Structures are given as C-alpha cells and as structure tokens.
A and B are shown apart, each in its own frame.
Chain A
C-alpha cells in the first residue's frame, strides 16, 4: 500500500470507528448470554444399557492431571473414544464454559467452588449415582463436602490444602506463618511466588488476618487487599503452575503451593501448613448439561473412581485422592518420601472448605484484578 493511500484512508477508518460508536448507542438491546440460571434442575433420562462405543467424549483437565495414555485405557475399557483437552487454570475453563457458546465438552475438571457456581448457572447435569457404582470407594468425608453435600453434581477427584513450599537451604529460618511469605526475610525478597487464581490469591492475607476463607465483608476484603498490595514488591511473580520447577532451580525460594505440587521428594524442599490454618480445596469432575454423551460421561467418571486409575493421580501428581482403596494401596515408600500424602481425611478437614459465595463471589474476582493491577 503506498503511503499517500495509507494516510488518506486513516481518517476514513477513524470515521467508521466513530460511526460504530454512534450505531451501538441506539442498537444495544440484544439478548443475554449465560446469565440466566437453569430453569429447573431436571436431569436427563439416561439409558444404563447404552452402547458406549457409539458415544465419544471430550474432557478438559489441567495439564498432567490424568495419565497420558488415558484415551487408550478408556477405549480399552469402555470402548469410547476419548479426547483430552487442557486448561491452565479454573478461571480459564470457567471463562470458556460461561460464555454461553457451546464448547463441545462432556466432562470438565474444576475446583469445588467453581463446580458449585457452574451448577447454579444451570450448566451441570445432576449426577445419576446408579451409573457410578464406584462412588462407594470414596471416603465418607468426601461425600459431605460443603460446596456439594451428597455429590449431587460433582465427584471429588483430588483434595488437599494450601501452604508454603520452601527451600530449607536457602531460607534461614523455616516459615511457620503466612506473614513469612507476605513479608519475607531479606534472603527471600524477590524470590517468592504466590498464586493468581482469585480465592488462593487472597488466601495468605485472609488467613494471616485471621479471617474466614469465605468472608464476604467489604471491610475484611479491603484489609486483605491492602495486605496483598503491600506484599507485591517482594514477589518474584505470580505463579499457579511452575512454582515447583522454580523452587528446584532456585529461581524462587518460597512459594504459596498446593500440597501435592510442592516437590518434597527433592532434596532441601519442604512443605508447611502455616499456624494460622489454611483451606481445604477439592478438584472435582462435573458432567456438563450440554453434553450429548451423558452415558459415556458417567461411565468415564465411574472409571476414574476405580482404585487403580484414581491411585495413578496419587502416585503421579502426588495429590491425595478421596478414594480409600486407592490411598490404602499406595506404596509406603512413596508416602515416606512425600509427606503431604500422609495427611488423613480428618486432618484435611481441619482446613476451611472453600465454597462459592453467590453474588458476593465477584468481590474476590475484583480483589484479584485490583491486586494484580496495583503497583
């Protein structure tokens, strides 16, 4: 494009943009997307004798969260084609699921409070327990989780708590309090990572201030926000994903971490639940209402609850699974090397369970945005 031509067009382009502004001012009455909650929680009629080879499944899960050969295992056992897609964080998959556009997903892995929100938005299929006999493998505690008592719309896949993962050789005194990560000692300044997903971004400050993880009070949240912004200068970066690698390489020396992702089997790396207490998080499987393969989706959930498959998660992602048979079958040596695996369900329940806060959950979203936006 020649220069003269280009410059001649720009004013016209600007004009069009102006026109668009004017047009929309009168044309803004279009319909809503996903905001309408479900009309009713009616569940579909499912056929227990369905030929599953006629259905195919697409799931979305965190990277590394299921065995790499899962599609083959599912094909061998259920005769169903399985396609695994990945999401980095809860927020990303929530963004996609709530646009109102059809994503083509059958089963999604999301954390408990997000499952609760999806259910309220009417996007989940109420589960058919008769199609998931392996629910019997779950610890009784795993059937009474506060975001979904009785596993009405979600099945727990892994559970655990959040704490501080740190290098014993690079920090002088082991951290014991959330304040140790919020205002770290000099040797850890600029070598600390914290999480960005809204509720966990808030967690260190919430607990350091002695508040409930499910607080809705504006006054509390203002204090939390101020404390988090104050902690920002000593951060290396926000990180929900790679903190383990960064600790191993020494790029970070202290990280807010989910227990299983703290690489305690490495030399000089330990995990601690701070004295102020912490949360109980649960990652769950949900079946989407828009799924056209609900029989296969239930069979898939049931298949995952098989002690052998479910045990894979404990052995490989090193997260505890709420499956008694799978946990009992873990090699003693593995538990010895990875201390977080030793926590019992009762110990886990000492953590405060994160639940969705309804209308008020947007307060945490806004808090996370503002903390990240602040200097």
Chain B
C-alpha cells in the first residue's frame, strides 16, 4: 500500500512533541546543579533527596491504599452490576447510569462529592477519596466486563440452570470463570486510573492525607525542585517495566494457548 510521504511530518511531529518534555525531565533528573535550566554535570543526588522525602513517601503509601481499596470495591460492585445489567435488565437508562461516571467530567464528580460529604458531615480522609475513586473505577469495570459478557456463551448458563443450579451457583461456577479475563482487565484499569487521579482526590482528601498526585501538585506549584524530575523518571521507569512485562506475559499466554 502506498504511504503518502507528507504524512510522515505530522507522524514524527507527534512523537517529538510527546517525548521532548519527557526526555528533558529524565536528563535533568541527573543534573548536579539545582537550576532546572542548565545542566551542571551528572549526579544522583536528587534521587537521594527524593528517597529521604517523607512527604512523597507518605503520599505514595496513601495513593496505594486508595488505589488498592477502591479497585477491590469497584471490581466487586462493577462485576455484579455488569452481570445484572446484561442478564436482569433491559433498561437503557440503567445502562447509561452505569457508564455515567466515566463520561462525567472529573471536576463535576469532585465538587458533587465534596458537597455531599459536607452535607452528611463526613470526616474527610483516605476513606473519602477511596469511596470517590470507586465511583469511576466501577464504571470502567462495568464497561469492560459487559464487553466480555457479550462474548460469553449464554447456553452454558442456561444449561446450568436447567440442571437445577441456583443462580448463585451458576454465577460462581459458570459465569464468573468465563468473565475472569475481563474482570482482571477492568481491575487493572481501575487501579491505574486511581493511582494517577488528581482532581477528585484534591477535593475529597483531608489536608492531613494527601495522595501522591496532590503532593506532586504542591511540589509543582512551589516550583522548581529537581526532585520532581527524579520522581518523574522513576514513575516512567515503573510504567515502562509494567508495559514490557505485560507485553511479554500476553505473548507468553498467546504462545501457550
């Protein structure tokens, strides 16, 4: 197939545009000097400083707690809802409700929850962020699991029911195992989204329990400390490793099956 040469200009422009800032961050993270604007020799000192930064460490722990908790909750609720919507409901309104949190701008959900928490006089903390993250996490789990459900064979469930199994048994023994890949994918999505989520956490966290994105936000606002570059590089390295490992694993499972 002929590829028009001219198209290569925006193609490469896209990648240069996406990666220039990231390359700058990574290079500057090894900068010996403090100025973010000039490179004064190689050094690992900002990594050392970052390792000793208790606020960042605390933010990281908070983020992981929120992400893990909301993922569990979102996965359970989302899976049930997906099955319920596919098997026990024909309502398009309910379908829409299930995906609404994913379509709603984060700012709207954030202030809605802030107002709601204030109204019920809830003490803010990690739990308030966790409950909030579950709302959109659940929408993504529901969507992914529903897609999976449309590809599963309903005749197996019918057979199970005809053989006298209770709905619970049918769900646990027949439906759930078939859905597992979808559930795992949905859970991973919910976890990833929660880890990076800033706006909702910013509104619903107590000042005493900042998540990592909130910590990063104050670091960015208060400028210009090279520790941010080191943190960015580490986050990149972690995501990169995860992507590679995930790639390898899918290729492995593909070659096994």
Does A touch B (CB under 8 Å) in the complex? yes
Which of A9-17, A120-128, A131-139, A355-363 is the interface stretch? A9-17
Does A49 reach chain B (CB closer than 8 Å)? no
> Known: A1-B143, A1-B147, A63-B218. Is A83-B208 also a contact (CB below 8 A)?
yes
Asked if A101 and B123 sit within 8 Å, CB to CB, the answer is: yes
Asked if A87 and B207 sit within 8 Å, CB to CB, the answer is: yes
Does A96 reach chain B (CB closer than 8 Å)? yes
- For window 200-218 of B, CB contacts with A under 8 Å fall at 206-208, 210, 218
Name the residue of chain B whose CB is nearest to the CB of A10: B103
**B147 — which chain A residues lie within 8 A by C-beta?**
1-2, 5
Asked if A241 and B210 sit within 8 Å, CB to CB, the answer is: no
**A1 — which chain B residues lie within 8 A by C-beta?**
143-144, 146-147
**B95 — which chain A residues lie within 8 A by C-beta?**
9, 12
Complex alpha-carbon distance, A103 and B143, angstroms: 35
Asked if B99 and A9 sit within 8 Å, CB to CB, the answer is: yes
Interface size class of A (residues with CB under 8 A): 35 or more
Name the residue of chain B whose CB is nearest to the CB of A242: B223
Does A104 reach chain B (CB closer than 8 Å)? yes
**B118 — which chain A residues lie within 8 A by C-beta?**
33-34, 99-101
- For window 232-254 of A, CB contacts with B under 8 Å fall at 241-242, 245, 249
Asked if B119 and A103 sit within 8 Å, CB to CB, the answer is: no
Does A315 reach chain B (CB closer than 8 Å)? no
Complex alpha-carbon distance, A33 and B124, angstroms: 14
Give the contacting residue for B207; candidates A9, A63, A103, A249; CB below 8 A: A103
**A30 — which chain B residues lie within 8 A by C-beta?**
119
Asked if B208 and A85 sit within 8 Å, CB to CB, the answer is: yes
Asked if B119 and A9 sit within 8 Å, CB to CB, the answer is: no
Complex alpha-carbon distance, A77 and B137, angstroms: 46
- Can you list, as one digit per residue, whether each of A26-49 has a CB less than 8 Å from chain B (1) or not (0)? 000011011000000000000000
Report the minimum CB–CB distance from B31 to chain A (whole Å).
Answer: 16
Asked if B124 and A103 sit within 8 Å, CB to CB, the answer is: yes
- Can you list, as one digit per residue, whether each of B105-127 has a CB less than 8 Å from chain A (1) or not (0)? 00000000010011101111100
**A96 — which chain B residues lie within 8 A by C-beta?**
124, 206-207
Ordered by A's residue number, 15 sampled pairs between the chains whose C-beta atoms are within 8 Å are A1-B143, A2-B147, A10-B96, A10-B103, A13-B99, A63-B222, A85-B208, A93-B207, A101-B123, A101-B124, A105-B207, A241-B222, A242-B223, A242-B224, A245-B223
B residues with a Cβ closer than 8 A to A are 37, 92-93, 95-97, 99-100, 103, 114, 117-119, 121-125, 128, 143-144, 146-147, 150, 206-208, 210, 218, 221-224
Instruction: Contacts A16-B100, A101-B118, A102-B124 known; list 6 others, CB within 8 Å.
Output: A63-B222, A86-B207, A88-B221, A100-B119, A101-B123, A103-B123
